[in-house]
Structure 1
Amino acid sequence: MSKAKSLFVRTTVALSTAAIATLALAGLAGPAQAESPVLGTVALAPTGGSVHDNPFVTAATTSAACPTGFGENAALKVGPPGGPYSPLARIGGLANYDQAPFTLAANRSLATALGAAPADGTYEVAVSCSGTTGTAPKDFSTLITVTGDSWAVKNAAATTTRLTAKPGLFAFEGQRVTLTATVRHNAAGSVEFFAGSTSVGTAPVTDGRAVLTSTTLPTGLLQLKATFTPDDPRLFVASTSQICYLVIG
């Protein structure tokens, strides 16, 4: 084999190996992560009552600010999941809704907003954000259930996350370590892995597990952590798992 051909082969192998390592670390080998259907959640006060109570709620607080550029107006509304919606209050026009989480209040009952006492089932209470360029494509949202003349917030289901590492207990510097987070309760979402306060990477949950492989964990006694974030925070609650792990230099 000529020197030029040998150099080409060695270079190709090196580049391929580096590309594989980069993909493993970033968790890009798995399927694409699902996008959250909402901007965040809405905390209601009170969390239940009569469909005839006026106002329906005294406070509906968003979990975050409106997206940048969509903070001119905010509207509180209710309807079946996905709409169509009916207003629960006048549109808020104080502006600056994209600066911080905020609170709106209803000025009518649930029955009045929907035009009649609602049928039993699940409804969506949402806050939409809008600006000079239009309305944000997603809302802050929470789900409620109606039974007879009563309503109550539909609480998100708890989840549990269990983190394991392979090889177990310890590894040597530069050794391939596979981190696996098992998420229970059939929850869709993603898991971000940490070594101490440093993010190692993020992987999607597939069939109840998120897997990420790294060869660059720092040396020393580490606190490895896996944080699960659900795709839909209205349905599932985030959860975290931690383990101690030793990387020998």
Structure 2
Amino acid sequence: MRTRLSRVIALLAATAATALTLLVSASPAQAESPILGVLSLSAASGTVTDTPFVASATTNAPCPSGYGDNASLRAGKPGGPYALLGRIGGDGGYDTAASVTLPASRSLTTVLGGTPADGDYEVVVTCSGVLTGVHPKSFSTYITVTGADWRVKAAAATTTTVRGSAHVVKAGRTLTLTAAVTPAGNGPVTFTDGTTALGTVQAAAGTATLATTGLAKGWHQIGASFTPDDPRAQLASSSKCSWWVYVY
């Protein structure tokens, strides 16, 4: 009797472990943004010899906690290396303010060591702490140089659509929801039932899928909203046309 009870307990434990494994593996991995946030320049365009390049640049969030002792405004080819556009901000408290604003004092030509070739460049604000060093990510924006002029590179608009595996489904049955983002992008997609969030899934190559069995009986208006991993490259969007499903 004791041996049979031990086998039952072992079987239940194994079943629970398997179910937990399936639950965990079914949870979509969330990708990290490649940047801390977006950087806004005080001018949207200019010339490569303008001194300063811009009056100032402002982040959309504070520096990460522990990285607020110093901040610097820099420019260079995308991915670096970057050269200073102005003096390093050493006032501290950059991780507690709502945002960080730094002035520039040099031109792009000076910073890049000569007249820059046509193409894309990156302007960044880096954050650092006395004890933590320089944060591996930065606040960033892209600019495009053409001849003697530069212009902020606008992020591409996106369109998000949503559809389900059926318009009518029985209560408790699985309904598979699919969101498509064009141009294809990567980032979290949140599926909604009216104003209620159903779940968030990481879109890969413009597609995100969510399976749900929890819809109550009645009509449901399904929507989806996309937030890009890289807001420099793409803009967020939400589905304008909903997918209606009836649960009976």
TM-score by length of 2: 0.84
- Alpha-carbon separation, structure 2, partners of 1:52 and 1:172: 66
Paired residue for 2:158?
A: 159
Compared with structure 1, are the counterparts of its residues 10 and 241 closer, same or farther at alpha carbon in structure 2 (3 Å cutoff)? same
CA displacement, residues 21-62 of structure 1 (integer Å, 9 cap, x when unaligned): 6755x4x3xxx4443211111111211111111111123121
For 1:178, give the aligned amino acid: T
**Contact map agreement 1:217 1:247 (CA 8 A) in 2:** no
Pair 1:216-2:237 in alignment: no
When the two chains are superposed, the root-mean-square deviation of aligned CA atoms in Å is: 2.8
Question: Cα gap change, 1:166/1:11 in structure 2, threshold over 3 Å: closer, same or farther?
Answer: farther
1:62 is aligned to: 59
**1:241 aligned partner:** 239
Q: Give the structure 1 partner of residue 203 of structure 2.
A: 205
Gaps of 5+ in 2: none
Moved more, 62-71 or 12-21: 12-21
Who is 1:40 aligned against? 37
Q: Give the match's secondary structure for 1:202.
A: strand
1:62-86 residue CA offsets vs partner (Å, 9 max, x unmatched) = 1222111111211000011111111
Decide whether the 8 Å contact of 1:144 with 1:154 is kept in 2. yes
Q: Alignment length, in residue pairs?
A: 241
* 2:166–2:245 contact (8 Å) kept in structure 1: no
| Comparing 185-194 and 134-143, the one that deviates more | 185-194
Counterpart for residue 175 of structure 1: 173
Give the alignment's TM-score, normalised by structure 1.
0.83
Q: Is the 8 A contact 1:223 1:245 kept in 2?
A: yes
State the distance in 2 between where 1:139 and 1:7 align: 52
Report the residue type matching 1:73 in the other structure.
N
For the residue of structure 2 that corresponds to 1:112, the secondary structure is: helix
* Alignment CA distance shift 1:8-1:83 (3 Å): closer
Distance 2:62 2:193 in 1: 29
Question: Per-residue deviation at 1:159?
Answer: 1.0
Matched with 1:86 is 83
Q: Identity, % of aligned pairs? A: 47
Counterpart CA distance in 2 for 1:156 and 1:227 is 17
